[in-house]
Amino acid sequence: MPSSQPLVLTELADSTRAAAEAFIAAGTAANTVRSYQSALTYWSAWLRLRYRRSLGDGALPPEVAVQFIVDHLARPDTSGNWTHLLPPAVDAALVEAKIKGKPGPLSFSTVSHRLAVLAKWHRLRNWDNPSEAPAVKTLLREARKAQARQGVSVRKKTAVVLEPLQAMLATCTDGVRGTRDRALLLLAWSGGGRRRSEIVGLQIGDLRRLDADTWLYALGTTKTDSSGVRREKPLQGPAAQALNAWLAVAPACEGPLFRRLYKGGRVAASGLSGDQVARIVKRRAAMAGLDGDWAAHSLRSGFVTEAGRQGVPLGEVMAMTEHRSVSTVMGYFQAGSLLDSQASQLLSSTPLDAVPPGERTAAAPHTAQEC
């Protein structure tokens, strides 16, 4: 039975601090640590309410992971409605404690992420991993199929391909802010589809100028490369010129490359946050009148999509983006490649009104009645 005792946030923070410290000691990126800590805080709260136990009491059995899935993933019932098994009292307690944003089921990606964090938490302690149990893996796979059959799909951010990028850049005419935003958008996009954590992490000392139209910027530790080895990426043409303009209005010998602005266009010494990068992308898209679900990741996905569209070899794209997984990058790359493929433009190459009616019938032997 669910516990009736209220959740105490300070106690939950204490119960997950050790987990966060373990991830930090393992060399995990700071942004990832924050997402892990959020997931473990949720696990701690849910376990206390559902089972009256603490996260660190020992390895969790597969049955607990199964219960977590059916508690949080919605599934269609016999009446055509969607249901999940999380008791309303537990749901309300999680929301009241600000562990959960709103009542109701969680998305498949959120549940999958929290199971992955639980798996890593167990591996760090050399405990049996409940997420690897056949029953858990099968249930998760079938749950995804069930949601897909009901039209529930994973929503991706809108990719900034060339045309929306140009529209966003056209709005960057508002003084110092426009100069900064133009340089940021072009470096993030042309420089290999940089993540927002990489953008805000760039320092003045990471830049090396080759000529008036070419810069190199160095990446250190990133989400997919924690070796600490500096890898230089090129920045050329309009992107290099935009960077020149930003450095001219905001000269500095050290510190963050992209900094905050005060009213009146005065440049602060402090750098941007990842959330501010996302807001810049959304603001410029809104100013350009662009429809879509825009975010900082739109620049990364847009770079890959546009590269596929222009026929850039996949290996060169991955050298710029530093994707480690081909499967991760291929979805965007293939979508871009198909945009200009002849296979997607068969009708445009032979207009229907140019084909004699008799030939149209011969070329289409199946009639509507047969279908």
Predicted local confidence at residue 131, as pLDDT? 92
Say if 98 falls within a structural domain. yes
Judgement on whether residues 313 and 187 belong to the same structural domain of the protein: yes
Judgement on whether residues 13 and 138 belong to the same structural domain of the protein: yes
Say if 362 falls within a structural domain. no
Domain containing residue 295: 162-342
Domain count, the chain: 2
- At 201, which CATH number? 1.10.443.10
Tell me which of 149, 177, 209 is where a domain ends. Answer: 149
Judgement on whether residues 37 and 104 belong to the same structural domain of the protein: yes
Judgement on whether residues 127 and 168 belong to the same structural domain of the protein: no
- At 13, which CATH number? 1.10.150.130
CB count within 10 Å of CB 327 equals 7
Say if 317 falls within a structural domain. yes
Identify whether the C-beta of residue 140 lies closer than 8 Å to the C-beta of residue 313: no
Judgement on whether residues 189 and 74 belong to the same structural domain of the protein: no
Judgement on whether residues 219 and 131 belong to the same structural domain of the protein: no
Q: How far apart (Å, rounded) are the C-alpha atoms in residues 56 and 15? A: 8
Predicted local confidence at residue 344, as pLDDT? 67
Judgement on whether residues 173 and 299 belong to the same structural domain of the protein: yes
Judgement on whether residues 35 and 142 belong to the same structural domain of the protein: yes
Identify whether the C-beta of residue 62 lies closer than 8 Å to the C-beta of residue 69: no
Q: HSE, CB side, 13 Å, CA atoms: give it for residue 221.
A: 9
Predicted local confidence at residue 350, as pLDDT? 53
Judgement on whether residues 111 and 58 belong to the same structural domain of the protein: yes
Say if 364 falls within a structural domain. no
Say if 296 falls within a structural domain. yes
Judgement on whether residues 193 and 318 belong to the same structural domain of the protein: yes
Say if 369 falls within a structural domain. no
Predicted local confidence at residue 44, as pLDDT? 93
Say if 366 falls within a structural domain. no
Say if 330 falls within a structural domain. yes
Judgement on whether residues 288 and 170 belong to the same structural domain of the protein: yes
Mean pLDDT by 10 residues, the chain (371 residues): 53 59 60 83 94 89 95 79 86 93 90 93 90 93 78 71 96 96 96 92 94 89 60 93 96 95 91 93 96 92 91 91 84 73 66 51 40 35
Judgement on whether residues 114 and 166 belong to the same structural domain of the protein: no
